[in-house]
Amino acid sequence: MLYFRGCVVREKLPQIEMATCMVLKKAGIDYDIVDGEECCGSFLLRTGFTDDALQVMHKTSQNLKDETILVSCAGCYNTLKNDYKKYLGVELDVIHTSQLFSNLIKQGIIKPKKLPVNVCYHDPCHLGRHCGEYQSPREVLASVANLVPMENEKENSHCCGAGGGVKSAYPELASEIALKRVDDALQAGAELLVTCCPFCVLNLESEKLKVIDLTEFFCLCNSVESLENNISKEDILKKSPNTQKKI
């Protein structure tokens, strides 16, 4: 298995990589990190630079053939799984971390420890709307927390506001959309907002509600010490306004 981290994880959220590797180690899975990893081409493709994207995609595909590729980024998952086939005719064996974790739970390889916290799940557009994967992340979250539904989710989920280059070109608009999504989670009673896309994590970050990647949360709930600043389960709960109201 090859772990393809993606640009956002490599450059801005290395704690997701740490958490992913620790879960893989705990599960006894042999893996390698892609040597000399470059961009999957998603951002170039979504922002209209198709020729540049195809060059990047062709180069990246040479390092990924004949391997099972694990990704923790929804954008990378959609691009590697669907766009490489569409534009290059290259079919890759790609699995998202949420799918892997769900399988590990079902097989009894990892036995989750449930945390008494209300969690909402934000569906990343790339994973849900474009790939139809709504169930695996929810199966994982339901095994480690109290999963509460939001008004708009699954097929009707709203974007975090960052996709398609909006965060780069229209940062204020991206922030406005993100705040509405956070408010949706708060209204549902969430103490945490969890998602499967590092780009969504960055855009949804808010003082109102703690936002965390599924891999990090799963790692913490299974007592795997890791993560930036030695964050603990208690730290997560303390950062949530809804939790503070209960104390």
Report the pLDDT value the prediction gives residue 245, as an integer from 0 to 100: 45
Task: State the pLDDT at residue 47.
Answer: 87
What is the structure's pLDDT at 100?
97
The better pLDDT of the pair 66, 240 is held by: 66
pLDDT of residue 14: 92
Task: Give tens-digit pLDDT for 20-35.
Answer: 999 999 999 999 998 8
Report the interhelical angle of 135-144 vs 214-221 (nearest 10°). 30
Rounded mean pLDDT, 221-230: 53
Mean pLDDT for 145-165 is: 85
Count of CA atoms in the C-beta half-sphere (13 A) of 223? 5
What is the reported pLDDT for 230?
47
Average pLDDT over residues 183-197: 94
Q: Answer whether residue 226 shows pLDDT above 70.
A: no
C-alpha 176/C-alpha 199 separation (Å) is: 16
d(CA 212, CA 110) in angstroms, rounded, equals 21
Single out the residue of 138, 137, 116 nearest to residue 191, CA to CA.
116
Q: Which helix (H) or strand (E) holds 113?
A: none
